Structure 1
Amino acid sequence: MKKTLIAVAAAAALTTSAFAEITFGAWLRVLAAPVASDGDETVTAMGNSWGYGARVARLNVNAVAEDGKAGFDMGIYNDLNDGLSTGDQWSIWTKPVEQVKLSFGKYDNNTLRGDLCYGSWNWLRPTSSWYVEDEGLLMSGNGGKGALIEVTPMEGLYIQALIPIDTTKQKAEDVYKNARGGFAYSIDGIGKIKGQVILNNTPEKAAVAAEKGAFVGTNGVVSNFDAGETLDTGAVVIKEAVKAAAASDAYLDKTFEAEFDLTSVENLWLGVGFQMKMIDKLDDREDQYKTSKMKIALGASYQVNDDLKVSASGAYLTAQKGKDDGGVDGVFQLGAGVDYNLGEGINLAADVRYKSKANDVDNTDSLAFLVGVTKGISSNGYVGVGFQAQTNSGTWANTVIKGEEAKGDKLTWAIPVAMSVWF
């Protein structure tokens, strides 16, 4: 019986391979700091560049029909502390016609995202030293769930729309008030223009918050407190006027984004991004005071020669509340880095990042820097060691190297050992 089952499985595998291609791949990066400082004590830490524990194993599965018109994709991630998870994307898709792709699932779709990743982005990420990350610096990516429609009606034009239908019952009106859509158009010999609109509406959650006199945080978490109470975190419970606004459709956020990439100059990439977030009844939105209304970002990279590349980025964000409300009129960030090939598979990376003060409290600005060297291993990996530091008790992405909160003026640092593999 066992032999029969094996034969049936083998026949099924052969039949499948004749009509579809199933591929497996993986990409991983983990950093361990055998010695680091949180400003007070010498500590150790390990994690991904982006935080969320340490992902030491993963598998990505992609299936595509022989004619390229149907398939699925999924991930199997193994994090050191949390075990197995489903990863960033899992979806089923078909192409009813060549120009249209329809998918259902969860997406890590970055076709429209505007990135400039360099230096410390690939090591321990100094989250205290930027307001906007390297990924999505110029324009946001799409990490939502639902029905994704992608259309390529002509050469150089790409259109995307996401309708966030979920497996739970939702009012259709609320679903479409959380839709998003965008496009990208490549201009031959010049560059690319992109734009998108992102809607965010949570009237039901806001209405519940209004009834209970709750505070709705920027992360969407609803906590119940007595009206007017001030929390230790500095958050203020919404007042009666805010409750009324929260219970209405005034909770609709509309974000507009645009980007232009210049690629016409040899060895140079130059991009500019613009974001405008419009929130109804802005003055009543106590829970959104940390959210910027506008962002202007710039990024550039230049391949000087075969061995040397330089990169630079910056962003300016308007504050939603001014000096009279404890904030500043606007904040900014700057960064610059170099990548240099030393030969024999050895590469040097260095960068510096600066973030301006977020409020009138001293020591809320931050300066971070990195010097790191990697050595290629085989054809699909590298190992490296570096030195990183941040001023004013700076923190890194989800590691134990936290330092003091906000007002600290100590130096935090780490000597990370980086390991990355891909298949």
Structure 2
Amino acid sequence: MARSWLDIDPSSDFSLANIPFGIIDTPEDVTRHVGVAIGSYVLDLKELAHRIGANNLLPFGAHSTPGVFETRTLNAFAKLGRSVHRHVRERIQDLLVRMFLPMDIGDYTDFYAGYHHAYAVGVMFRGPANALQPNYTHLPVGYHGRASSIVVSGTPVRRPVGQILLDPKAEPKQPTVAPSRKLDIELELGCFITKSNDLGHPVSIDEAEKHVFGYVLLNDWSARDIQTWEYVPLGPFNGKNFTTTISPWVVLADALEPFKTKGIENPTPLQDYLKEKREETVFDIQLEVDLTTPDGNTTTITKTNGKNLMWSFPQMIAHHTLGGCPLRKGDLLGSGTISGPVPEESGSLLELSEGGKRVIQLNGGEGRTFLKDGDTVTFRGFCVGKEGERVGFGECTGRVEGA
């Protein structure tokens, strides 16, 4: 369990792993109401709900019962069911444990190194014969992202507003300004830079590893309808820049070194500046994505692996600096969406729903093509060593809020 900013005695019955509920009153409010025990403290849930808003404490579907923490017994709260109880307990834990961005991020570049994702999306828009653009196997394709909208795991994600085409086939094209109807995720790894290079001085592939500090999970939230209309001719913009979520714990490069493995074989002979001396250039990281609906039902919607990358982070660094671009300490590089070779290993809803044509069935009877308000997405990643030792990233999570 993560440590709290509260001083909690380790021997206390009421650690953050507990969170028991009870009925209290206070000198300021003698009316009986709901509270929870935290160490030697009592957290007043009636007061908390007033201060942060009941909608920030209760799950989306229970917002119609904001007075549940003002009652004289726990009966009304108990009636809401275990999924609501679980959500409130986890929200209290979140509020009492503060996590922050681990680095001062000056710049952010997102690559497109996930071969199977690039191919699958290319098939959707250009067909199998032209799925990959001619440059794809010659260089790590990337775009410059927005560092100011990178947030730490647990930060709410506001549904973006932008220009979208409600009827792409209509002529003339008449975009509408509206909240995105195709809010998506992208399962990625992030790499933090530890060492700068001077302007005009490229980083060689042999030196690139020395510029890596460590790795995080990264969710490159994507508004597909906004992105589709605006990306021509200069690439992603408002469809990408509204939020990028990273996990709070940086796994150092040395911790992942034992888990290096071969990536996707590149059919094109590499340029010398991209040739690595070893064949094991990417990581055997087991990755999975959970989607939790507003009523608390959780479904693991995909499982894939970090080895489904064609380009390694050292290759990304070598290419990023080829023209003399100076990377700086704290810069963040994204891998691009990591998908496997079969549809159920896809790292985005765009692939899982085949562009919105197929409904993804969830536990509890609901279905999704893209995300709804109140949905929570959680990434997890871990490596397992030969002796069973586990190196994990923790969680990278975000909950969708209305526009």
TM-score calculated relative to the size of structure 1? 0.20
**More strand, by proportion:** 1
- The structure, 1 or 2, with the larger RCO (C-alpha pairs under 8 Å, 6+ apart) is 2
**More helix, by proportion:** 2
